Structure 1
Amino acid sequence: MLITGTEKSTVSDAAAYIANRIFRAIDSNGFCSLVLSGGSSPRKLYRRLAEGIPPSIMQEKGFSFPENAVTRTLDTTSVRLPWQSIMLFWGDERCVPENHPDSNYRMAHESLIATVPIPERNIFPMPHVSENYDVAATRYEQELKNFFDKHGKNRQNSFPVFDIVILGMGPDGHTASLFPGDTDALEESNRWVIPIYAPQGSPPGYRLSLTLPVINNARTVVFFVMGENKKNMVSDITAGLKSNLPAGMINPKDGKPVWFYSPE
């Protein structure tokens, strides 16, 4: 499914959809495991999730929400998310310090985490390292295994089952830190987290990334993509014409990914 619009409407539509999925996961499991995307595109989406979604948008989309999630002030009424029941993970990370401008954690912290009442124990960032990348990947994989072992019903086929994975996409069709031509990374079938060297990345350098089997095992995968320079790639991938590219390899076991795209 591809949903397009202005930047404002795309942010609102994606936030409402994700909020609905969060409420459904919590109703089913008691918590929601949410994987965040990096880059610059999700900033406004994360701010909308932090601020809350207007009930009118949720209702317009036919999404239900708990009455106790509605917060009213003098100026606004919004549906707020139950952050105490949301567990945050990351789909990929650049191997830089957490306060570095290119850190995906820093972006999420500034636009989301710092402004919502989420317990620190609910936040699972990827390690911020400058060397020994394989050890860092193994460490995060073990952290994920510990979490999902604790919640046994959320593991399937030797891989975790995240409730929601948010992904972006580059103009070259890469997603998370899985890049075109990186055969070893794209064919990885056992590991959950791998180190990546991305000479074509922005910026070039080492990264950590979830693997395709982990992403495709998620209950819901949401692509949130912005920019005119990605228009043709979005069109081709959603039409099934670029299944050899990383973003085209995202095929969740429980259905198709949902795409939210704005050229603005």
Structure 2
Amino acid sequence: MSTPSQFAAIEWRGREVRVEYVHIAPERSDAPLVVFLHEGLGSIAMWKDFPEKLCEAGGFRGLVFSRPAYGRSTPRDADEVWDVDFMHRQAHEVLPAFFDAIGIHEKPWLFGHSDGGSISLLYASRFPDHVAGLVVLAPHIFVEDVTVANIELARRAYLDTDMPKKLGRYHDDVDSAFWGWNRIWLHPPFKQWNIENELATIRCPVLAMQGVDDEYGTLRQIRDIALHVPQTQLLEIPDCGHSPHRDQPETAIVATVSFVRRHSPDQGKRSVES
């Protein structure tokens, strides 16, 4: 990201937490606002320039932030252990508090990847009148064996390779980011985590995309979203793994801009850049 980070303070888990964020093109005051929610090991920095490219292509405003424990946001306390409801708490507690802290009172579009996609779905389920629409990339709505197996491989890589050094480029406290995510996904009770029944209250349009070669989940994840949320549009992307915005960025950008424009008729006419 080329824009310097700002910080907002929220109260969460009984203490003040600092949340890192960046605005993209705030001068486009009449444009749709797209909020980017990163993956389980993500941050503002890990998105690189994708949010800026997407916002430029669609003429959108953007808001990118690092969830607590990630990027330059406040790390986890040393004794802080996340429970099975950790994504629910991000959707129901952190996101509303963050929006209030920085004065977001409109209906944004949520663009969420992986855990960020799940959090987006949970937010739209709990607050159906507070969101214009969702674009979710490789979201999780239940736990699959392939997901757990590859997260276990990530644990081994973190312990045995230079993975901490590589992740350290994106997080002030890399252990906070990695172990918060890894330990809860490998916690045996988390295998029962399932949000399918919570999706029925989502009323906004949903674009759910996933790589055909996703190593962290099968296409059942997005196909089952469509079973519970009839207004869902599916995009299954060939030659693409778990991160469509990195593996097939142009496909993700064109599909997202087209979808947002189709469902934002009052936002003026801006062409999709290809």
* TM-score normalised by L of structure 1: 0.31
